[in-house]
Chain A
Amino acid sequence: MIAASKPIQRPRDARLLVINRQGAISHVARTGLADFLQPGDLVVANDAATLPASLRGVHLPSRTPIEVRLAGRKSLSREDTHFQAVAFGAGDWRTRTEDRPPPPPLVPGDRLALGSLAAMVDDVLGHERLVALKFEGRPDTVWAGIARHGRPIQYAYLDRALALWDVWTPIAALPVAFETPSAGFALDWNFLRRLRERGVEFATITLAAGLSSTGDGELDERLPFDEPYRIPASTASAIRRTKTKGGRIVAVGTTVVRALVHSGGRAGEGVADQRIGAGTRLCIVDAMLSGTHAPDESHYQVLRAFQSDGVLARAEGALEESNYRTHEFGDSVLVFSHQH
Chain B
Amino acid sequence: MNNLRVAITGGTSGLGLALMRELRRRGARVAFVARSHERVEAIAREHPGTHGIVGDVARKEDIHPIALQITVALGGLDVLVNNASSLGPTPLALLADTECEDVALALETNVLGPFRLTKALLGALTASAREGRGAVVLNISSDAAINAYAQWGAYGASKAALRHMSAIWNEELAAEGVHFLSLDPGDMDTPLHALALPDADPATLKRPEAAARELADAIFAALEKEHA
Contacts and interface: CB of A to CB of B under 8 A. Distances in A.
Nearest to B71: A174
Interface residues on B, range: 20 to 34
Interface stretch (B103-111, B119-127, B208-216): B119-127
Contacts of B122: 170-171, 189
Contact of B123 (A51, A173, A196): A173
Interface residues on A, range: 20 to 34
B64 A173 contact: no
B123 A49 contact: yes
B130 A203 contact: yes
B123 A47 contact: yes
Select the residue from B63, B123, B127 with max chain A CB neighbours within 10 A.
B123
B130 A173 contact: no
A49 B68 contact: yes
B124 A174 contact: yes
A196 B126 CA distance: 14
A175 B68 contact: yes
Interface stretch (B15-23, B72-80, B186-194): B72-80
A193 interface: yes
A204 interface: yes
Interface in B47-67: 51-54, 61, 63-67
B64 A165 contact: yes
A203 B176 CA distance: 11
A78 interface: yes
A169 interface: yes
B176 A192 contact: yes
Interface string B156-188: 000000000000000010011000000000000
Contacts of A47: 123, 127
Given A49-B68, A143-B68, A147-B65, A78 B73 contact: yes
Contact of A174 (B51, B63, B76): B76
Interface string A263-282: 00000000000000000000
Given A47-B127, A144-B54, A175 B71 contact: yes
A193 B68 CA distance: 26
Select the residue from A49, A169, A170, A234 with max chain B CB neighbours within 10 A.
A49
A173 B80 CA distance: 14
Given A172-B123, A234-B131, A49 B71 contact: yes
A148 interface: yes
A165 B64 CA distance: 7
B123 A171 contact: yes
B11 to A, nearest CB: 14
Contacts of A170: 122-123
A91 B72 CA distance: 30
Nearest to B74: A78
Nearest to B40: A144
Contacts of B202: none
A168 interface: yes
Contact of B73 (A140, A146, A148, A204): A140
B13 interface: no
Given A140-B52, A147-B64, A234-B132, 18 more contacts: A49-B123, A143-B69, A143-B73, A148-B65, A164-B64, A165-B63, A165-B64, A168-B120, A168-B123, A172-B123, A173-B76, A174-B71, A174-B72, A174-B127, A175-B72, A189-B176, A193-B175, A232-B130
Interface of B: 51-54, 61, 63-69, 71-73, 75-76, 120, 122-124, 126-127, 130-132, 172, 175-176
11 contacts: A49-B68, A49-B71, A51-B68, A143-B72, A147-B65, A147-B66, A164-B64, A169-B123, A170-B123, A173-B124, A234-B131
